[in-house]
Structure 1
Amino acid sequence: MQNKINGVIFDFNGVIINDSWLHETSWLEVFRELVPNKNHSIDSIKKLIHGRTNKDIFESIYNKDISTEEIERLSEFKEQKYRLLFKENLKQVQLDKHTIYLFEYLKNNDVPFTIATASGLSNLKFFFEILSLSNWFDLDKIAYDDGTILGKPEPDIYIKAAKNISTNIENCLVIEDAVSGIKAAHSAGASYIVGFGVSYPHDVLIKHGANIAIQSFSTFPYNKLNEK
Structure 2
Amino acid sequence: MLKGAIFDFNGTLFLDLNKQETAWRTFAQQQFNKVITDTEFIEHFHGRNNRYSLEYLAGHTLTQAELNQLIDKKETTYRALCKIDQENFHLTPGTALFLDDLKKSDYQITIATASGWDNLNFYFQSFELDRWFDLQTVVYDDGQLKSKPDSDPYVKALNKLDLTAEQCVVFEDALSGVKSAGQAGIKRIVQINSTPQLKNTILWAHDFTSLSAMKINELLKL
**TM-score (structure 1 length as normaliser):** 0.90
SS in 2 for 1:118: strand
Q: Distance in 1 between matches of 2:212 and 2:190?
A: 9
Q: Please tell me the root mean square deviation across aligned C-alpha atoms, in Å.
A: 1.7
Aligned to 1:210: 201
User: Does 152-161 or 92-101 show the bigger shift?
Assistant: 92-101
How has the CA–CA distance of structure 1 residues 91 and 43 changed in structure 2, closer, same or farther, with 3 Å as cutoff? farther
Matches of residues 76-115 of structure 1 in structure 2 within 5 Å?
76-115=72-111
SS in 2 for 1:154: coil
Q: Distance in 2 between matches of 1:70 and 1:35?
A: 14
Q: Distance in 2 between matches of 1:173 and 1:110?
A: 14
Q: Distance in 2 between matches of 1:64 and 1:57?
A: 11
For 2:196, the aligned partner's letter is: P
Q: Distance in 1 between matches of 2:35 and 2:11?
A: 25
Is the 2:108–2:161 Cα contact (8 Å) retained in structure 1? yes
How has the CA–CA distance of structure 1 residues 179 and 171 changed in structure 2, closer, same or farther, with 3 Å as cutoff? same
SS in 2 for 1:219: coil
Q: Distance in 1 between matches of 2:188 and 2:88?
A: 29
Aligned to 1:225: 217
SS in 1 for 2:170: strand
CA displacement at 1:102 relative to structure 2:
0.8
CA displacement at 1:96 relative to structure 2:
4.7
For 2:17, the aligned partner's letter is: S
Matches of residues 112-151 of structure 1 in structure 2 within 5 Å?
112-151=108-147
Is the 2:165–2:185 Cα contact (8 Å) retained in structure 1? yes
The yes-or-no answer on 1:19 pairing with 2:8 is no
CA displacement at 1:129 relative to structure 2:
0.7
Provide Cα deviations, 1:27-75, integer angstroms capped at 9, x if missing partner: 1111101221x44345543432011110001111111111112111111
Q: Distance in 2 between matches of 1:100 and 1:221?
A: 11
**TM-score (structure 2 length as normaliser):** 0.92
Percentage of matched positions with identical amino acids = 34
Provide Cα deviations, 1:70-96, integer angstroms capped at 9, x if missing partner: 111111111100000000012213125
Aligned to 1:165: 161
User: Does 94-103 or 120-129 show the bigger shift?
Assistant: 94-103
Is the 1:28–1:42 Cα contact (8 Å) retained in structure 2? no
Matches of residues 27-38 of structure 1 in structure 2 within 5 Å?
27-36=24-33, 38=34
The yes-or-no answer on 1:6 pairing with 2:6 is no
Q: Distance in 1 between matches of 2:58 and 2:93?
A: 41
Is the 1:12–1:115 Cα contact (8 Å) retained in structure 2? yes
Matches of residues 175-214 of structure 1 in structure 2 within 5 Å?
175-198=171-194, 200-202=195-197, 205=198, 207=199, 209-214=200-205
CA displacement at 1:225 relative to structure 2:
3.4
Is the 2:3–2:168 Cα contact (8 Å) retained in structure 1? yes
Q: Distance in 2 between matches of 1:53 and 1:112?
A: 25
Q: Between Structure 1 and Structure 2, how many residues are aligned?
A: 219
Q: Distance in 2 between matches of 1:155 and 1:130?
A: 29
Is the 1:182–1:193 Cα contact (8 Å) retained in structure 2? yes
